[in-house]
Amino acid sequence: MTIELAGLYKHLHANPELAYAERETAALAAKHARELGYEVTEGVGGTGVVALLRNGPGPVVLLRADMDALPVHEETGLGYASTRPGLMHACGHDMHVTWLLGALEELAEHAPGWNGTVMAVFQPAEENGGGAQAMVDDGLFERFPMPSVALGQHLVNLPAGTVGYRAGNFMAASDAVRVKLFGRGGHGSRPETTVDPVVMAAATVLRLQTIVAREIGPLDTAVVTVGSMHAGSAANIIAPDAELLLSVRSFNPAVREAVLASIERIVKAEALASGAPVEPQIVREGGYPVLHNDSAATAKTVAALGRALGTRNVIERQPVMGSEDFGNFGRAAGVPSCFWFVGGCDPQAFAAAAVTGRLDIDIPSNHSPHFAPVLEPTLRTGVDTMVAAARAWLADGNPAS
């Protein structure tokens, strides 16, 4: 290895960058890929990087890593913890970049053994920023070769050395909704002269919880979370308005539309019940579609992962309500895609927590300020899985055609 992967990972972890501001990360990825002999284009969809290794006729295999960090203040106490207050790689995208560069090096080294084109995509802004679509909109599939398949992986808090996968729907669709409720402000001592948006917001939040509990069938799946609620500035002032930010998750398009319609109905009805002088504003602020793993592509990819890690380390998982924009690549290109999870948790700590039923408490999840994957075998595993998956698709080409 010419790239010192552990050092690279620690550097990225210590220097996190927010969505669309991944300039140093992107420059580093571009530099390493160029040194390995890849044809590199920077600035695709903002800070995105595309690195190509054309190695004769054969399939084009898209390999994706996202690069952005989160507005989380790190509390891991690691020697290589974030040096940027309030910013942290709490979702493992630093590991994704390191894995992909490690895989690019191995694929370049063993180029005589395969044919086709490796198309590495370093994506900006996975965390709510729509970075995958930004790269597509910037001509990803017009300026660069059309892939035959899209492959991606995510670090999660499963035991290190293991992989989780699922054919079909794997991760939920997400929608963000911004709601502004209008009341009439005034003196805190004279509520009768006002329309209190705090009470209106409180009633709305509670009523929104009845959508999943009372309106969606028990065998269907949805989440309605009010993640943010803001109103007012002082104890003795009744504010003029209140704002709610909602996150909606679903798998079925009909359920999704039903939930979004119910939100609109309830918000308007609660405003009416409160005597609001103006109708509320309800704005959908984007989201991600369901992440769907093509069945045949998943079978082929998972077989390769099993050969690389041993089949007992490649475990079928339940779908998760988390969301990802990786699915946009396969969807936009009209080709199958496969996405899997790679564990980064100390296997002994994981087993101990599982025995005592404390997995949710003792094992920090993604986005936690305590999220701290063990370096090994996490690093090695993610490089091996990416190389194995890529080789499965490259090797299946017809180099003679």
Minimum distance of Zn ion from residue 64's CB (angstroms): 12
- Does the annotation count 324 as an active-site position? no
Of 36 and 363, the one with the shorter C-beta distance to Zn ion is 363
Minimum distance of Zn ion from residue 334's CB (angstroms): 25
Chain-centre distance of CA 83, in angstroms?
A: 23
Name the residue with tokens 């927590």: 353
Minimum distance of Zn ion from residue 155's CB (angstroms): 8
Minimum distance of Zn ion from residue 360's CB (angstroms): 17
Minimum distance of Zn ion from residue 134's CB (angstroms): 16
Rounded to the nearest 5 percent, the helix, strand and coil shares of the chain are: 40, 25, 35
Max intra-chain CA distance, the chain: 83
- The number of beta carbons lying within 10 Å of the beta carbon of residue 295 is 12
Active-site pick, 17, 66, 68, 106? 68
Of 71 and 113, the one with the shorter C-beta distance to Zn ion is 71
Active-site pick, 17, 94, 106, 126? 126
Of 91 and 118, the one with the shorter C-beta distance to Zn ion is 91
- The number of beta carbons lying within 10 Å of the beta carbon of residue 304 is 20
Tokens of 220: 């269907």
- Does the annotation count 126 as an active-site position? yes
Of 153 and 262, the one with the shorter C-beta distance to Zn ion is 153
Residue type, 132: A
Measure Cα distances from 180 to 35, 43, 312 in Å. 51, 36, 50
Interacting residues toward Zn ion by CB under 5 A: 91
Of 48 and 397, the one with the shorter C-beta distance to Zn ion is 48
Chain-centre distance of CA 217, in angstroms?
A: 27
Specify whether the CB–CB gap between 117 and 55 falls below 8 A: yes
The residues carrying an active-site annotation are 68, 126
